[in-house]
Amino acid sequence: LTSQQFGPRLLRRFMYDLTTQFTLGGFLSTGFYCLLMLRVVENREDGLSAPHVSVLAAVGLTILSMVMLIIFIHHIAVLIQAPNVVAAVANDLDDAIVRLFPEKLGDPVPDEELRNRKSENSDETEATSPLVIRSNSNGYVQAIDVVGLMDMARDRNLLIRLCAKPGDFLAVGSPVAKLWFEDERSVDDEVKQALTESLDVMFITGTRRTPRQDVECAVDELVEIAVRSLSPGINDPFTAINCIDHLGAALGRLAERRLPTAHRCDENGTLRVIADPVTFPDVLDAAFNQIRQYGHDSVAVIVRLLETFTLISHHLARASDAEALLQHGEMVAEVADSLPQQRDREVIRERLSSLCDTIEKSQNNGENNE
């Protein structure tokens, strides 16, 4: 039921559910115990003989298993309801935002000093050829050992530029990272092989994406629920609206957070790692592009998208984020021209106008504060 209605990727939430695990474990252990009990049952002349205490324990485990079955049925009946599934995935998204923004990867440096170092580093890297580390397997990047990466760059006096981030798919031979050495002449094939093996351990790959360090993974799961609910076979705009509400709340929290810079330095202020971070416009695109495309026939979904954009606009702190949000609002409102009812078109235009006014006010307030 979960796979058909919400998507196969959400099965992980049910597989990791403790009530499900305890119930399956209880039934399996009870059955295994009863099978072992059969070995001690003896057939005597006066009838069957069995240890009474062990039989009593088997009866107790059976009763406990039946109680667990009742609890399990009630738990699953609650868990598979669409609002609860959406809320559970939204909690994963909130945890990912709190955990990853800002992500600690070395210490940030002041903007002016960072610009100077970026310029110096650009001149240096253009004059030297890097060691390109390539993937030796296929899979999604699930996590990166950022602490180990920084320690390796500091201990070996390297500059590392990551070519992949959590959530990216790596094919065999795809570049994973580029390494610049302070003195290339001191680097032999043995050192390069050791660095390649060390970096390979620091990149955890798998057959699927996880929200451990990939904030867009939880976003995609919510989007998948919304898109499936908008399909002609299900036609459930209320679930899609529920997903939009949770996405809007998460994007509002993300808009208030300081996003990590691409350039990270060690405790001495030396630039060590360059890793392109996930930006607010990236998450915004992942959250609403497909919902907009699949929900263009539902006026309720279109209106809720614009209302959600207006709520997000109250949390904006960067001009680039406001521009990206306004662009999404305009793309959503473009479908109003094809709607048959004039009143629907007017409502959508009103919501777009409200979004524009809110963004303009937030930008003016930001300029005044500066």
pLDDT digits (tens, 9 = 90+) for 59-73: 999 999 999 999 999
Could you tell me the two tokens for 214? 């990939």
CB 13 within 8 A of CB 85: yes
* pLDDT at 48 (0 to 100): 58
Low-confidence ranges of the chain (pLDDT < 70): 2-3, 5, 7-9, 12-13, 42-50, 102-128, 183-187, 363-370
CA 131 to mean position of chain CA atoms: 30
Rounded CA-CA distance 14/370 in Å is 48
DSSP, collapsed to helix, strand or coil, labels residue 170 as strand
From 253, 243, 255, 323, select the one nearest 290 (Cα to Cα): 243
Distances (CA, A) of 142 to 32, 250, 270: 36, 21, 28
* pLDDT at 287 (0 to 100): 93
* pLDDT at 196 (0 to 100): 83
Residue-wise pLDDT tens digits, 275-308: 888 889 999 999 999 999 898 888 999 999 999 9
Give the residues across from 133 on adjacent strands: 177
pTM of the predicted model as reported, rounded to 2 decimal places: 0.76
* Residue type, position 346, single letter: E
* pLDDT at 65 (0 to 100): 93
* Residue type, position 256, single letter: E
From 326, 300, 330, 302, select the one nearest 313 (Cα to Cα): 326
CB 299 within 8 A of CB 240: no
Give the H or E element holding residue 160: strand 158-162
Q: Token match 């473009």: residue?
A: 334
From 312, 299, 316, 298, select the one nearest 350 (Cα to Cα): 299
Task: For the chain, give the number of residues.
Answer: 370
